[in-house]
Chain A
Amino acid sequence: MAEPEVSIRNLTYRYRGRKDPALDGINLEVAEGEFVVIMGHSGAGKSTLCTSLNGLVPHFLRGRMEGEVRVGGRSTREGRVGEFGQEVGLVFQDFEAQLFSTNVALEVAFGPENFQVEHEEMVKRVENVLRQVRLEGFEDRTPATLSGGQKQRLAIASVLAIQPRILCLDEPTTDLDPMGKLGVFEIAEELKNRDDVTLIVVEHETEETLDADRIVVLRDGKIVANRPAREVLQDVKLLEESSVMPLQVARFFHERGTEDEQLPLTPEEGVEEFERRGWRVSPERHRELVEADEEREQSYGETLIEVEGLSHHYPNGVVALEGVDLSVREGEFLAVLGQNGSGKTTLVKHFNGLLKPTEGSVRVDGEETVKQGIRRLGQRVGYVFQNPDHQIFSDTVADEVAFGPKIREMDEGEIGERVEEALTAVSMEGRGDEDPFGLTKGERQRVAVASILAVRPEVLILDEPTTGLDYAEQRSMMELIRRLNEAGSTIIVVTHTMWVVAEYAHRAVVMRDGKVALQGSVREVFAEEDELRDASLRPPHIVSFGNALGYPVLSVEEMLRVTEGG
């Protein structure tokens, strides 16, 4: 048998200053042309594993390595990172931090330049590779003017131009919107079909791992699964224990007692299996769900935010919003969905006064936002930005959370109370003395939420609260938000993580090209699959499953509740 491309034996790696190993006794082989997906919770060691492939571990990062990694027959201990760069192409998660040139063509040529490729050959490669990632015609563009998805495709192109035999993509689609993700998946699809490229991808989105040859699941630095993709995806219990989101259809059947080997994975397979087993959906129980929705609608309080005929034009002429009508009532949990550039963020930035309408009106608590100003509105409408690091600047968690109250000149006692209250609300009570920068991303996000809660706003807007978090962290964050909603806060979430919307939001607004494409209860909105697709959104698998059976459901739990038979 041919020597495997990648051969890892007993790899253990400890970062400098940490006692627990990031990787613990890893044994893994990858053959030429394979497509392997690596999954696991935050901190499981996925990125460390990727960097061990091209010598960054052990040569660049500071720590101790035991065991051996052989790539193309050569051990990574010998030779420098630069040399392995020709065989192993590594694309990092943070697309912003791996682009350094001032134009697209140069960015792609950077790798070949370093490896002294001849000019003629370089020109050919650049052209070729830009076509592969569908960026032809972009040669002279500045990276700053590209969208997130385009930047990531550019990063992939810049690595492909080196023509490595092994391509490793570390969470390439995190932080990308659905269109962006699709673009990257399409490239991965084409790459996997090539025999001369061995593809290793670290991925969160379980729904996209169906095409892999094998899935490797990491937990706490160890490999807990290394089997063909289908088998791993059917091992629902293992995935849940490893903080990886299992495929919803598979989990549904698993909860109903189906054996692992027979679990269907996609909505289509699920529908087939459902009918084959003669299961039915109970119309009465389904109606109960719909009625519960309607009851909840009645229970909302007065209208807090009223948007009428809102249009917004940016100074450079771009029309971001056109004729938007919307109202948000007290106690609601609203999700605003859409592509990047659809206007969803522009819309919600009107609610706290960051943006002023060009036409139309936005009223909060009955008064126009333009009359109130950001400072006053901030008291009523809290806005948690997507990246907590864009806010955090204090030395301690308590100081950070106290920032809002301090600015509003509350007295010492009041401030202390508010800080305690806010920290408890985000399950971080007692941690006021900690250093915010030493926390994990999920914890920093909670601190950011707490700092907004300390001002006790009526409405809480959260921009992409689940990006960059693993499944367990996402659940934890959404449970927190749900608790806040149940305690009386009105919640507006801007996101494109569809399963989160389905399970937690009550109402949804879908934005497309600056206009409202769909509006209504989540159940109603998610039943319109065609419209969603036009807005470049896809409902979660369980929702498609329910829709296909004629009974819209929003979660695995709901589907279980309404199913009978078998």
Chain B
Amino acid sequence: MKEVLTMWRHTQMVVLVALSAAIYAAVLIPFKGFPIIPGAVEIRPANVFPVIFGLLFGPAGAWGAAIGNLIGDFFGTLSPGSIGGFVGNFFLALLPYKMWGAYFRRDENVEQNVSSGKKLAVYIAVAAVASMACAVIIAWWVAVLGIFPFLATLVLIVSNNAIMAIVLGPVLLLALYPRVKQWGLLWTEIMNPEEVPASRLQRVGNVLVWVGSLGGVAVGVILSLTGVASGVGIGLALLPFPILILVGSFILGGREQVEAAHEMIAGEGQESEA
């Protein structure tokens, strides 16, 4: 996870944090009319952005999504729920880029666009898991605080995030990836390989995140339907799942994506000299 800290050395990454946060907040604010859980759940197409920001800008997108959500709260709904919203959106953007590399072999093209059937499938899978993870985190937090029933929160967040990410995401990526690449702003091109942890145990990390997210949702739904609606009970019962997600994220790495991007640049450079 160290790229989340090392990224701050790069001015462009700092700026991308600010810009993605501002875009997210700006698109959220007009829709502030009907918040359901202040800071954590609102109906909005803007929810597609965290996944996109994460894939394109990596850790800058993660910080941007988290800060953007918080700033959105500055315009009316700042509350303890905002803490959950912060962490939840952070992972909503983080997981896509961390998990992306786990699905491609060394020789395959690992660029974060949706230029093939396989990539589209990976995108949908990753967006779905990230949506679930985000929901598990926020719903858990909100349930522990006792401000909202776990099940309602969970269902609302998963559906909102997943629908927006899957309906709008691929088309957005198609339009945005070439631009961002042309401007030299892909995180994989800005950051250096040694700033990102290596991905030795990538498969394991991937599995942990899947278990944490799907498991969290499944167990949470079962527990809710059988009676332990919220509070300390559900908090303890579900605690392992956010922890699994966190541990998985640590293990996932991501260095080979950066290496691949740098190789591509070097290749282009040689071409233009030839």
- Do A and B interact with each other, yes or no? yes
Binding site for B on A (CB under 8 A): 16-19, 62, 100, 393-395, 435, 437-438
Interface residue? B178 (CB, 8 A): yes
Q: Could you tell me the distance in whole angstroms from the C-beta of B9 to the nearest C-beta in chain A?
A: 13
Interface residue? B147 (CB, 8 A): no
Measured CA separation A259–B82 after assembly (Å): 74
Residues of chain A lying within 8 A (CB to CB) of residue B178: 435, 437
Residues of chain A lying within 8 A (CB to CB) of residue B226: none
Interface residue? B175 (CB, 8 A): yes
Residues of chain B lying within 8 A (CB to CB) of residue A100: 18
Q: Could you tell me the distance in whole angstroms from the C-beta of A100 to the nearest C-beta in chain B?
A: 8
Residues of chain B lying within 8 A (CB to CB) of residue A393: 175
Residues of chain B lying within 8 A (CB to CB) of residue A18: 272
A395 touches B174 (CB 8 A): yes
B272 touches A437 (CB 8 A): no
Q: Which 10 pairs between the two chains have the least Cβ-Cβ distance?
A: A437-B179, A17-B268, A17-B272, A19-B272, A395-B175, A62-B184, A395-B174, A393-B175, A16-B269, A435-B178
Interface size on B, residues (CB 8 A): 11
Q: Could you tell me the distance in whole angstroms from the C-beta of B21 to the nearest C-beta in chain A?
A: 13
Measured CA separation A438–B175 after assembly (Å): 12
| 21 A-B pairs in the complex with CB atoms less than 8 angstroms apart | A16-B184, A16-B265, A16-B268, A16-B269, A16-B272, A17-B268, A17-B269, A17-B272, A18-B272, A19-B272, A62-B184, A100-B18, A393-B175, A394-B175, A395-B174, A395-B175, A435-B178, A437-B178, A437-B179, A437-B182, A438-B182
Contact with A along B148-178 (1 / 0, CB 8 A): 0000000000000000000000000011001
Residues of chain A lying within 8 A (CB to CB) of residue B179: 437
Interface of A is mostly: loop
**A-B contact number at CB 8 A:** 21
Q: Could you tell me the distance in whole angstroms from the C-beta of A142 to the nearest C-beta in chain B?
A: 14
Measured CA separation A418–B178 after assembly (Å): 28
Binding site for A on B (CB under 8 A): 18, 174-175, 178-179, 182, 184, 265, 268-269, 272
Residues of chain B lying within 8 A (CB to CB) of residue A17: 268-269, 272
Residues of chain A lying within 8 A (CB to CB) of residue B272: 16-19
Measured CA separation A435–B178 after assembly (Å): 10
Measured CA separation A62–B179 after assembly (Å): 16
Q: Could you tell me the distance in whole angstroms from the C-beta of A477 to the nearest C-beta in chain B?
A: 24
Residues of chain B lying within 8 A (CB to CB) of residue A16: 184, 265, 268-269, 272
Measured CA separation A471–B272 after assembly (Å): 31
Residues of chain B lying within 8 A (CB to CB) of residue A19: 272
Residues of chain A lying within 8 A (CB to CB) of residue B18: 100
Residues of chain A lying within 8 A (CB to CB) of residue B265: 16
Measured CA separation A19–B182 after assembly (Å): 15
Residues of chain A lying within 8 A (CB to CB) of residue B184: 16, 62
Measured CA separation A62–B190 after assembly (Å): 11
Nearest A residue to B265, CB-CB: A16
Measured CA separation A456–B272 after assembly (Å): 43
Measured CA separation A19–B272 after assembly (Å): 6
Q: Could you tell me the distance in whole angstroms from the C-beta of A313 to the nearest C-beta in chain B?
A: 23
Q: A16-B268, A17-B269 are in contact. List 12 more A-B contacts (CB 8 A).
A: A16-B184, A16-B265, A16-B269, A16-B272, A17-B272, A18-B272, A62-B184, A393-B175, A394-B175, A395-B175, A437-B179, A438-B182
Measured CA separation A292–B109 after assembly (Å): 66
Measured CA separation A394–B175 after assembly (Å): 7
Measured CA separation A18–B182 after assembly (Å): 12
Nearest B residue to A100, CB-CB: B18
Q: Could you tell me the distance in whole angstroms from the C-beta of A367 to the nearest C-beta in chain B?
A: 31
Measured CA separation A395–B178 after assembly (Å): 10
Residues of chain B lying within 8 A (CB to CB) of residue A438: 182
Q: Could you tell me the distance in whole angstroms from the C-beta of A232 to the nearest C-beta in chain B?
A: 35
Residues of chain A lying within 8 A (CB to CB) of residue B269: 16-17
Measured CA separation A100–B272 after assembly (Å): 36
Task: Output the residue of A17, A18, A100 with the most chain B CB within 10 A.
Answer: A17
Q: Could you tell me the distance in whole angstroms from the C-beta of B263 to the nearest C-beta in chain A?
A: 15
Q: Could you tell me the distance in whole angstroms from the C-beta of B124 to the nearest C-beta in chain A?
A: 20
Measured CA separation A438–B178 after assembly (Å): 10
Measured CA separation A394–B272 after assembly (Å): 29
Q: Could you tell me the distance in whole angstroms from the C-beta of A505 to the nearest C-beta in chain B?
A: 36
Residues of chain B lying within 8 A (CB to CB) of residue A395: 174-175
Nearest B residue to A62, CB-CB: B184
Measured CA separation A395–B177 after assembly (Å): 11
Measured CA separation A435–B177 after assembly (Å): 13
Nearest B residue to A14, CB-CB: B272
Measured CA separation A437–B174 after assembly (Å): 13
Q: Could you tell me the distance in whole angstroms from the C-beta of A453 to the nearest C-beta in chain B?
A: 23
Q: Could you tell me the distance in whole angstroms from the C-beta of A51 to the nearest C-beta in chain B?
A: 14
Measured CA separation A16–B265 after assembly (Å): 9
Nearest A residue to B184, CB-CB: A62
Measured CA separation A435–B175 after assembly (Å): 10
Measured CA separation A393–B176 after assembly (Å): 9
Q: Could you tell me the distance in whole angstroms from the C-beta of A15 to the nearest C-beta in chain B?
A: 10
Q: Could you tell me the distance in whole angstroms from the C-beta of A257 to the nearest C-beta in chain B?
A: 48
Measured CA separation A395–B269 after assembly (Å): 26
Measured CA separation A395–B115 after assembly (Å): 13
Q: Could you tell me the distance in whole angstroms from the C-beta of A84 to the nearest C-beta in chain B?
A: 15
Measured CA separation A435–B179 after assembly (Å): 10
Residues of chain A lying within 8 A (CB to CB) of residue B174: 395
Measured CA separation A19–B178 after assembly (Å): 20
Measured CA separation A17–B178 after assembly (Å): 14
Nearest B residue to A18, CB-CB: B272
